[in-house]
Amino acid sequence: MSRIEIGSRIRRLRTLNGMTQKEFAKMVGISQGTLSDIESAKTLPSVETIISIVRSVDGVSCDDLLLNRRSLPGEEFFFTAGKESLLRDFCGVLKNGDADVVKALKSTLALLLKVCR
Protein backbone atom coordinates (compact mmCIF):
# COMPACT_ATOMS: atom_id res chain seq x y z
CA MET A 1 0.00 0.00 0.00
CA SER A 2 1.38 3.40 -0.94
CA ARG A 3 1.77 6.46 1.24
CA ILE A 4 -1.18 8.01 -0.61
CA GLU A 5 -3.40 4.98 0.06
CA ILE A 6 -2.46 4.84 3.74
CA GLY A 7 -3.13 8.56 4.19
CA SER A 8 -6.44 8.28 2.36
CA ARG A 9 -7.49 5.27 4.41
CA ILE A 10 -6.67 7.06 7.69
CA ARG A 11 -8.61 10.12 6.51
CA ARG A 12 -11.60 7.89 5.66
CA LEU A 13 -11.38 6.21 9.05
CA ARG A 14 -11.35 9.62 10.75
CA THR A 15 -14.28 10.99 8.74
CA LEU A 16 -16.30 7.78 9.15
CA ASN A 17 -15.96 8.35 12.87
CA GLY A 18 -17.18 11.95 12.48
CA MET A 19 -14.01 13.49 13.84
CA THR A 20 -12.04 16.56 12.89
CA GLN A 21 -8.30 16.30 12.39
CA LYS A 22 -7.81 18.02 15.74
CA GLU A 23 -10.07 15.53 17.57
CA PHE A 24 -8.59 12.46 15.88
CA ALA A 25 -4.99 13.63 16.38
CA LYS A 26 -5.63 14.23 20.09
CA MET A 27 -7.23 10.80 20.48
CA VAL A 28 -4.28 9.12 18.73
CA GLY A 29 -1.66 11.19 20.56
CA ILE A 30 -0.11 13.08 17.64
CA SER A 31 -0.25 16.69 16.54
CA GLN A 32 -2.84 17.92 14.08
CA GLY A 33 0.02 18.88 11.75
CA THR A 34 1.39 15.34 11.81
CA LEU A 35 -2.06 13.93 11.02
CA SER A 36 -2.44 16.44 8.19
CA ASP A 37 0.92 15.36 6.78
CA ILE A 38 -0.10 11.69 6.97
CA GLU A 39 -3.49 12.28 5.35
CA SER A 40 -1.98 14.36 2.56
CA ALA A 41 0.71 11.71 1.93
CA LYS A 42 3.60 13.96 2.89
CA THR A 43 4.75 11.38 5.42
CA LEU A 44 4.03 7.83 6.54
CA PRO A 45 2.62 7.20 10.01
CA SER A 46 5.04 5.77 12.52
CA VAL A 47 4.55 2.27 13.90
CA GLU A 48 3.54 3.89 17.19
CA THR A 49 0.89 5.98 15.42
CA ILE A 50 -0.54 2.93 13.63
CA ILE A 51 -0.73 1.05 16.93
CA SER A 52 -2.38 4.02 18.61
CA ILE A 53 -4.99 4.30 15.84
CA VAL A 54 -5.79 0.59 16.09
CA ARG A 55 -6.09 0.79 19.88
CA SER A 56 -8.20 3.97 19.73
CA VAL A 57 -10.75 2.99 17.08
CA ASP A 58 -13.07 0.08 17.79
CA GLY A 59 -13.23 -2.64 15.17
CA VAL A 60 -10.12 -1.77 13.16
CA SER A 61 -6.93 -3.84 12.93
CA CYS A 62 -3.52 -3.10 11.45
CA ASP A 63 -4.40 -5.32 8.49
CA ASP A 64 -7.65 -3.41 7.93
CA LEU A 65 -5.84 -0.10 8.03
CA LEU A 66 -2.70 -0.92 6.06
CA LEU A 67 -3.60 -3.78 3.75
CA ASN A 68 -7.13 -2.76 2.73
CA ARG A 69 -8.35 -6.34 3.19
CA ARG A 70 -11.82 -5.44 4.42
CA SER A 71 -14.06 -2.45 5.01
CA LEU A 72 -13.23 0.00 7.72
CA PRO A 73 -15.82 0.18 10.51
CA GLY A 74 -18.64 2.36 9.17
CA GLU A 75 -18.01 1.73 5.47
CA GLU A 76 -20.92 0.32 3.53
CA PHE A 77 -18.86 -1.31 0.78
CA PHE A 78 -15.53 -2.93 0.10
CA PHE A 79 -13.59 -3.80 -2.98
CA THR A 80 -10.00 -4.72 -3.71
CA ALA A 81 -10.03 -4.65 -7.50
CA GLY A 82 -7.39 -2.60 -9.24
CA LYS A 83 -8.48 0.80 -10.47
CA GLU A 84 -8.23 -0.15 -14.13
CA SER A 85 -10.22 -3.35 -13.68
CA LEU A 86 -12.85 -1.58 -11.62
CA LEU A 87 -13.23 1.19 -14.17
CA ARG A 88 -13.42 -1.31 -17.06
CA ASP A 89 -16.11 -3.33 -15.28
CA PHE A 90 -18.06 -0.22 -14.37
CA CYS A 91 -18.00 1.09 -17.95
CA GLY A 92 -19.08 -2.32 -19.29
CA VAL A 93 -22.10 -2.39 -17.01
CA LEU A 94 -23.05 1.17 -17.97
CA LYS A 95 -22.74 0.34 -21.65
CA ASN A 96 -24.72 -2.90 -21.51
CA GLY A 97 -26.98 -2.35 -18.51
CA ASP A 98 -30.64 -1.59 -18.43
CA ALA A 99 -32.06 1.57 -16.84
CA ASP A 100 -32.44 0.00 -13.37
CA VAL A 101 -28.82 -1.18 -13.34
CA VAL A 102 -27.54 2.22 -14.45
CA LYS A 103 -29.64 3.90 -11.75
CA ALA A 104 -28.25 1.54 -9.09
CA LEU A 105 -24.67 2.19 -10.26
CA LYS A 106 -25.22 5.95 -10.15
CA SER A 107 -26.40 5.58 -6.56
CA THR A 108 -23.37 3.45 -5.69
CA LEU A 109 -21.01 5.92 -7.36
CA ALA A 110 -22.55 8.78 -5.37
CA LEU A 111 -21.92 6.79 -2.17
CA LEU A 112 -18.33 6.06 -3.22
CA LEU A 113 -17.67 9.74 -3.86
CA LYS A 114 -19.19 10.71 -0.52
CA VAL A 115 -17.10 8.20 1.43
CA CYS A 116 -13.84 8.92 -0.41
CA ARG A 117 -13.89 12.67 0.21
Domain boundaries, the chain: 3-67, 83-116
39, 8 Cβ separation under 8 angstroms? yes
3-class secondary structure, 2: coil
3-class secondary structure, 117: coil
Q: How many residues does the chain have?
A: 117
Task: Output the tens digit of pLDDT for each of the chain's 117 residues.
Answer: 677 888 988 998 898 888 999 999 999 999 999 999 999 999 999 989 999 998 998 888 787 777 765 556 655 444 444 455 555 666 666 666 666 666 776 777 676 666 655
- For domain 3-67, the question of CATH label 3.30.9.10 is answered with no
Give which of 52, 14, 56 is closest to 36, Cα–Cα. 14
Q: DSSP assignment, residue 77?
A: -
Question: pTM of the predicted model, to two decimals?
Answer: 0.60
